[in-house]
């Protein structure tokens, strides 16, 4: 038996822990599309791409700050010229090619058989216990549950910040494709 407020606090802690784990996994997935480099690194020091890196104006070299550079792939794109069809190279961030979905718990659904009792001016939460009947089947105790708790887990659209970042990279890709 638990006090009701302790039971609710345990549920809240479980929800917060689940939300934190989901958020960390979302960040892990997102950052898998980027290389992490020191803030002042030049393109020559990072041969993985040829993107020019502009340092922040108030950079403190002792801060050990890093930045994320998109992982890129070079793709050839056909282009019609006066000399015929030629290949044109387009640098495409991987994040623009892959579907990015994020999870965010908004509700939780869990059904629990509970019994609420009053003891010493406190509300106590109990869980009905099962006991075997003499023929081997399960039979609940005489105390019947008088409540059910329902919570629901669903997913939502990706956050606006991630969408804006991806849309920005998509614009850069479109700008490289000749019309």
Condensed to tens digits (0 to 9), the pLDDT of residues 75-113 reads: 998 888 888 999 989 999 999 998 877 777 777 666 677
Please report, for the chain, how many H helices and E strands are present, in that order. Answer: 3, 10
How far out from the chain centre does Cα 20 lie?
Answer: 9
C-alpha 40/C-alpha 25 separation (Å) is 28
C-alpha 28/C-alpha 151 separation (Å) is 26
Instruction: Identify which of 100, 98, 104 has the alpha carbon closest to the alpha carbon of residue 156.
Output: 104
Alpha-carbon torsion (18, 34, 99, 166), positive or negative: positive
* Residue 53: predicted pLDDT: 47
Q: 0.85 exceeded by the pTM?
A: no
**pLDDT tens digits for 9-50?**
888 888 888 888 888 888 888 889 999 887 754 444 445 555
């Amino acid at each position: 038996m638990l006090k009701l407020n302790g039971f609710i606090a345990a549920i809240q802690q479980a929800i917060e822990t689940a939300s934190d784990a989901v958020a960390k996994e979302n960040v892990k997935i997102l950052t898998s599309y980027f290389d992490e480099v020191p803030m002042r690194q030049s393109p020559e020091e990072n041969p993985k791409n040829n993107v020019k890196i502009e340092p922040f104006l108030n950079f403190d070299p002792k801060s050990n700050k890093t930045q994320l550079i998109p992982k890129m792939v070079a793709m050839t794109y056909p282009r019609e010229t006066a000399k015929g069809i030629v290949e044109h190279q387009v640098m495409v961030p991987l994040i623009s090619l892959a579907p990015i979905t994020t999870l965010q718990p908004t509700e939780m659904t869990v059904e629990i058989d509970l019994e609420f009792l009053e003891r010493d001016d406190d509300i106590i939460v109990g869980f009905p216990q099962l006991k075997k009947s003499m023929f081997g089947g399960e039979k609940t105790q005489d105390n019947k549950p008088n409540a059910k708790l329902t919570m629901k887990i669903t997913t939502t659209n990706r956050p606006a910040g991630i969408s804006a970042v991806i849309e920005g990279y998509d614009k850069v890709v479109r700008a490289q494709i000749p019309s």
